[in-house]
Amino acid sequence: MESNGISRSKHPSVYKLLAIDLQSRTTKHRVGRAFAAFSLMTKPNVKSNATLPTVIYKKLQSAIFNGLFKPGQALRQEDIAAYLGVSRSPLREALSRLEADGIVRSRPNRGYAVISLEAEQIEEVFDLRCLLETELARRAIVKRTEADIGKVYQIAHEMSALPQVADPDSFAHWHDIHTSFHSALFEPSKCPRHLEAWRHSYNLVELYTRTESRLTGNVNQPQDEHIQLAQAFALGLVDKFVELTKNHSTHTRDRLLRVSASAK
């Protein structure tokens, strides 16, 4: 097995959701079917350098990824703008960014809705994602530095520190770390266009990945695979790292398809 000569290293934003029972939530004024989801979203607080559209974008992305809006659910702009206390202009900009990410889609004369994928579409996305990930893996491992290895081990350690996940906060936190882990494995490739295409394919199924975790109640099924990926990356085992990357993507796809089939 190949190694690029770097020695093995010893190196070993969280979205808060309010705990509100959606079934018991009532209101005198109906503002659309998604009101319960709005009630779980914190309102924009632009105190950093982030622009208002960026803040809205991140909040909506978090709400969608964490299941507050369901696949296929309409996103009523007037309701979201009213709840968040913002105008329609920055909201439209945020929704356009989410559409570019593949998370929502624009429907003629009907506004935006969360994407909804059939099993065949999930398979197609993973076919593309697997091609991108294996190529990124092959390029990243020969360009990685000791700093890259340290970053991967640090994130892997953070994931392993959450042995059991039982609440929405932990689910969201684990998946945020999980995304960072895979990004850390591929970013050393220094291939911005490949990485952009990979992130797009990743986002397309992230909603389903998080749904699968909530339904099974366990995010640690693939944890052994993450450890193996980190070790192969650190040791410079090119072929092994590429093989593990492909297998990890395939196993994720198979879990999502099983959940999708059982939900019908």
| Measured distance CA(18)–CA(207) in Å, rounded | 19
Architecture in CATH of 119-262: Up-down Bundle (1.20)
Q: Please tell me the distance from the alpha carbon of residue 246 to that of residue 125, in angstroms, as a whole number.
A: 14
Contacts of 16 (CB under 8 A, 6+ apart): 42, 169
Task: Say what percent of the chain tops pLDDT 70.
Answer: 74
Query: Between 201 and 261, whose confidence is greater?
Result: 201
Q: How many residues in total does the chain contain?
A: 264
| Res 97: pLDDT | 94
- For the residues 227-244, what does the mean pLDDT come to? 97
Quote the Cα angle for 187-188-192, to 5°: 50
pLDDT of residue 217: 62
Architecture of the domain defined by 31-114? Orthogonal Bundle (1.10)
pLDDT in tens, 25-60: 222 233 334 444 444 455 555 455 568 999 999 999
**Range with the lowest mean pLDDT among 117-126, 178-187, 203-212?**
203-212
Rounded CA-CA distance 213/88 in Å is 33
Q: Which two tokens stand for residue 1?
A: 């097995």
Find the mean pLDDT for residues 123-144.
97
pLDDT of residue 255: 86
For 144-195, write each residue's pLDDT tens digit. 999 999 999 999 998 888 756 556 667 778 888 999 999 999 999 999 999 9
Average per-residue pLDDT for the chain: 80
CB atoms closer than 10 angstroms to residue 226: 21
Q: In terms of pLDDT, which residue wins out, 4 or 14?
A: 4
pLDDT of residue 7 exceeding 60: no
What does the pLDDT read at residue 256?
86
pLDDT of residue 164: 60
Lowest mean per-residue pLDDT among 8-12, 100-104, 177-181: 8-12
Around Cβ 210, how many Cβ atoms within 10 Å? 20
Name the residue ranges covered by the structural domains of the chain.
Answer: 31-114, 119-262
Report pLDDT for 239: 98
Our CA angle for 148, 98, 178, nearest 5°, is 30
Q: How many CB atoms within 10 Å of residue 217?
A: 10
pLDDT of residue 45: 54
Alpha helices (runs of H) in 102-222, residue ranges in sequence order: 119-141, 146-160, 168-186, 192-216
* Residue 6: per-residue pLDDT: 56
Q: Which of 71-80, 132-141, 217-226, 239-248 has the lowest mean pLDDT?
A: 217-226
Greater model confidence, 33 or 219: 219
Most confident listed range (60-69, 96-105, 186-195): 186-195
H or E element that contains 43: none
